[in-house]
Amino acid sequence: MTLPDSTRASADTETLTALEEVYAQVKRVQRDLRPTDRIIQDLEIDSLATLEILLALEERFGVALVDNPKAATITTVGDLVGLLDELRADATTT
């Protein structure tokens, strides 16, 4: 399913805001995230923090990230936001 541009933009913004909130809780630092931020290099997220963030996002959005093979290919914030929006859209159509 393809979302209209306006709907996609609002979903992206909502997802990015949620990710910023989860990042702040896990890393205990407030930061504006950009889609081009690399998760490991730029945000300095280690494997434990990555797991904490993914689990928190799973709970928040009711999607499966940890067991999703696409999650292994995520390198940037934009990749993660895109995957979350894709999973959320799939969940609303089923």
- Do residues 74 and 40 lie in contact, with contact meaning Cβ atoms separated by under 8 Å? no
> What is the pTM for the complete model shown?
0.83
B/e letters for 1-19, b = 16+ CB within 10 Å, e = fewer, are: eeeeeeeeeebbeebbebb
Q: How many helices (H) and strands (E) does the chain have?
A: 3, 0
Q: Number of structural domains, the chain?
A: 1
- Domain with 34, as residue range(s), is 5-93
Q: What is the pLDDT along the chain (94 residues), one digit of tens a residue?
A: 344 444 345 558 899 999 999 999 999 999 999 999 999 999 999 999 999 999 999 999 999 999 999 999 999 999 999 999 999 998 887 6
CA–CA separation, 78 vs 75, rounded Å? 8
Give me 32's structure tokens: 């504006």
